[in-house]
Amino acid sequence: MPDGLSTPVRNDWKWQTGTDISRIGCVKFAYVCSKKKGGAAMPCELKEKERTGVINPIFTCQPAGAQYASIGIKDCIGIVHGGQGCVMFVRLWFSQHYKESFELASSSLHEDAAVFGGVHRVEEAVDVLLMRYPDVKIVPIITTCSTEVIGDDVDGVVTKLNEGLLKEKYAGREVHLIPIHTPSFKGSHVTGYDVAVEEIIKHFAKKDKAAKKLNLLTGWQNPGDVRTLKHLLTEMDVEANVIFDIEEFDAPLMPDGNHVAHGSTTMEDLENTGSAIGTIALNRYEVGKAAQYLENEFDIPTVIGPSPIGIRNTDTFLENVKKLTGKSIPASLVKERGIAIDAITDVAHMFLADKRVAIYGHPDLVIGLAEFCLDLEMKPVLLLLGDDNTKYGEDSRIKALQENVDYDMEIVTNADLWDLGDRLQNKGLKLDLILGHSKGRFIAMDNKVPLVRVGFPVFDRAGYHREATVGYEGAMLLAEKMANVWFTDMEYTQNKEWLLNMW
Ligand code: SF4
């Protein structure tokens, strides 16, 4: 059925589900139908946390995001201009999640810098780094709260180093110093990543390259996600320039030994972003700025979002790839999709339907998970976004939630995990599941609500980073993971566990 396979996937969904809606109608249509059933405006509220201060934050600070971008690039070590802790805890965070070691440097400021300034520490740090690492070519210089408050002129010192140290001491060596401003008194690690990706692409992207690949700006993903995205594109016979390719964060232990992991995106890959046939940016809040820059500067056709979480968003992703490349969706992916839908159908209506869920973490992840949960007839009742981005209200996906959801749902910005605990302990919030990263584990344990680990960081489950959350495979794994967590809960709480004998 070649014609059927080459039609847009979201249309052929109807072809697939329409034949036996009683069996698989539970997937996808709950969300759409709620609008039709309810008619009137639905009670889904977007609001900022009322309390000042943050207790048990969901996010960390901007420089962490810039550091995450820098470890995704080959021959690159970022220097964080600030106190040593701004690197130490972030490295630990990455290492906990990936169970690998990563290379990052610090200008290691001390008290005197608060009075006299600390740019001389950047000069020393660049020199020491280049001496110690002869292969390093790219050095993002990442500011922090302290150095932004002091007012250190990082752009000026980069100019000085380019004119002085690099010409004199490192003549003939290609070195790129890239200032990245990430004051941590605004935004979060999500915006820090967004800013860093934009600055790095601005620095390298060129028009005159012959390469004609599709830019895939992945956003903050796991190696399992990158592997899955590459697989989808390979099946579609699309050559992609994956920014950043962090598949190797799942680093092998080789006979000759290895002690660090790093991404494999090269300088050439970054240059080629300016000559792509198109750009797909998966996560609006993580790579939207860079995608917009490429579109404005190089006139590259660009699609921003959605993150391919769940069946429907993966359909959209493939449709977008098809539009930008002219390649068709092969039978192999229709089959893969069918396997995922079949697996999801086995657990959705019987076990997941009506389960009340709270979700916290990166905004694109939270929104994608909420959409997927709705497709599974679940009820995301609380979405917690850990920063105060004022653009959330303009997000068409959030608007769609507000227009379509037919039960009480809260979307809280600038939220923290205390909000979640308070609602559970004092405000009568009833939940069946929580979706989020490991930092919410104590709230889940104290309130005896099963926590499905998803997002960043996840350090209390083995191998999580190896699994996909995106694509058909990710949708299947996620639905099954939610079901399995729920099954375990049924057994431990003796809540209808007999059902599992008959399933
Ligand atoms: S908040 Fe400031 S001092 Fe703390 S880790 Fe972030 S940049 Fe460093």
Is 237 domain-assigned?
Answer: yes
Same domain, 47 and 72: no
Residue 314 is predicted with a pLDDT of 98
* Residues 144 and 109 sit within 8 Å (Cβ to Cβ): no
Residues in the chain: 503
Distance CA 211, CA 61 (A): 36
Same domain, 322 and 373: no
CB-facing half-sphere around the CA of 468: CA atoms within 13 A:
23
Distance CA 317, CA 212 (A): 19
Is 305 domain-assigned?
Answer: yes
Same domain, 341 and 368: yes
Same domain, 249 and 397: no
What CATH number is attached to the domain comprising 403?
3.40.50.1980
Same domain, 407 and 484: yes
Distance CA 16, CA 344 (A): 14
Question: What total number of domains does the chain contain?
Answer: 3
Residue 42 is predicted with a pLDDT of 53
Residue 212 is predicted with a pLDDT of 87
> Which run of H or E residues covers position 400?
helix 396-404
Is 149 a residue of the active site? yes
End position of a domain, from candidates 187, 222, 242: 187
Distance CA 72, CA 64 (A): 13
Position 329: which residue type? I
Query: Domain residues for 50?
Result: 2-56+332-502
Same domain, 109 and 10: no
End position of a domain, from candidates 140, 172, 187: 187
Same domain, 344 and 487: yes
Same domain, 85 and 30: no
End position of a domain, from candidates 305, 328, 351: 328
Rounded to the nearest angstrom, the distance between the alpha carbon of 332 and the centre of ligand 1 is 47
Is 205 domain-assigned?
Answer: no
Ligand 1 atom closest to the CA of 185, numbered from 1: 1
Of all protein residues, the one whose alpha carbon is nearest to atom 2 of ligand 1 is 145
Cis peptide before 2 (omega within 30 of 0): no
Same domain, 102 and 83: yes
Same domain, 485 and 363: yes
Of all protein residues, the one whose alpha carbon is nearest to atom 7 of ligand 1 is 144
Rounded to the nearest angstrom, the distance between the alpha carbon of 85 and the centre of ligand 1 is 7
Same domain, 476 and 364: yes
Output the tens digit of pLDDT for each of the chain's 503 residues: 333 333 333 333 333 333 332 333 334 434 443 444 444 555 899 999 989 999 999 999 999 999 999 999 999 999 999 999 999 999 999 999 999 999 999 999 999 998 899 999 999 999 999 999 999 999 999 999 999 999 999 999 999 999 999 999 999 999 999 999 999 999 999 999 999 999 999 999 999 777 689 999 999 999 999 999 999 999 999 999 999 999 999 999 888 887 789 999 999 999 999 999 999 999 999 999 999 999 999 999 999 999 999 999 999 999 999 999 999 999 999 999 999 999 999 999 999 999 999 999 999 999 999 999 999 999 999 999 999 899 999 999 999 999 999 999 999 999 999 999 999 999 999 999 999 999 999 999 999 999 999 999 999 999 999 999 999 999 999 999 999 999 999 999 999 999 998 88
Is 194 domain-assigned?
Answer: no
Is 145 a residue of the active site? yes
Q: Which of 145, 242, 347, 470 is catalytic?
A: 145
Same domain, 390 and 492: yes
Cis peptide before 457 (omega within 30 of 0): yes
Residue 33 is predicted with a pLDDT of 36
